[in-house]
Amino acid sequence: METVSIRNRDMYWDIAADLQFPPGFTKGKKYPAIICAHPIGSCKEQTAGNVYGKQLAEAGFVTIAFDRSTQGASGGEPRFIEDPALAVEDFRHVVDYLTTLDYVDEDRIGVLGICGGGGYAINITMTERRIKTLASITGVNFGRLCREGFSGYDPIGALEAMAKQRTAEARGENLKVDLFVPTSLDAAAKAGINDIDVLGATDDYRNRCVNDSAGTRALFSHRTVSIGWDAFHLAETLLTVPMIVVIGDKPGGFGAYRDGQEIYGRAASKHKELVVVEDTSHYDLYDLPKPTSQAFARVIPFFKAHL
């Protein structure tokens, strides 16, 4: 594995990324490459890199997992901004970087995103034509989630509160940072939380895959863009590349099951597959061996066929 810094030429800071290589890798060959995008609140070392990036590299691809701007080891201030417009542009800079590597075949670049990273991957693929193939793993339309569950189904009220908070911060008051998940499963139980996705996120980030670089939080005053954003906008016209969508059959509050069904139906792609993994929830597809192996059994052949 090699850790690299990618210049974000629009914002003048660096994006941190981890490259992983196939067995027997040599710089004298040309390889297909896959960008692996981490979930909302996660980081490159977690499921994007240590599960999907690792397995895809072992299958013969150069993979690159990156931290989105203001998150993880990447630059950008203030920290913990979850802005879809900024996040989507990060992918474009990663593609730029891959095209400078002599061992990457610039005509065989794919993208895989998990959770909100899946929604971002879907969105960037519509306009970044250097991306030739797409995989969404339990992908979530973050804009839809922000208008619904993340705003208490009151997006206008949330926007008003964000506006007041931004004004307060402009006048020197402290930043307000929201946690996406409870601090522990005990805290979730005490709060009466029983949603399978929230409990899954808590178990994953607090127990199974703890990493200090994972934010699991967002700056409240900068979430207005998310509420007005739609990952699937114009998919019927612009989403034409081969696409595979993997979801679990246990729906939860974050909505990956419904979003996966929706984008599969709406995408203009001529070659598209919908994989519904049985007895599986959103966070099972992050790192649990059985569901992830079922995902790889479909995703790896799909990438090999279309890259």
- The domain that holds 171 is classified in CATH as 3.40.50.1820
Sign of CA dihedral 132, 136, 140, 142: negative
Per-residue pLDDT, 9 = 76
Domain that holds residue 152: 2-306
pLDDT, tens only, 210-224:
877 777 889 999 999
Return the amino acid letter for 254.
Answer: F
Residue pLDDT tens, the chain, 307 long: 999 999 887 778 999 999 999 999 999 999 999 999 999 989 999 999 999 999 999 999 999 999 999 999 999 999 999 999 999 999 999 999 999 999 999 999 999 999 999 999 999 999 999 999 999 999 999 999 999 999 999 999 999 999 999 999 999 999 999 988 898 999 989 999 999 999 999 999 998 888 777 778 899 999 999 999 999 999 999 999 999 999 999 999 999 999 999 999 999 999 999 999 999 999 999 999 999 999 999 999 999 999 9
Per-residue pLDDT, 179 = 87
Per-residue pLDDT, 118 = 98
Sign of CA dihedral 94, 95, 96, 99: positive
Per-residue pLDDT, 228 = 97
Give the tokens for residue 135. Answer: 């995989």
Between CA 66 and CA 197 the distance in angstroms is: 24
E runs forming strands in the chain: 2-8, 13-20, 31-37, 62-66, 104-114, 131-137, 177-179, 217-219, 243-248, 272-277
Between CA 239 and CA 139 the distance in angstroms is: 15
The number of distinct structural domains making up the chain is 1
Give the tokens for residue 241. Answer: 């590349």
Per-residue pLDDT, 221 = 96
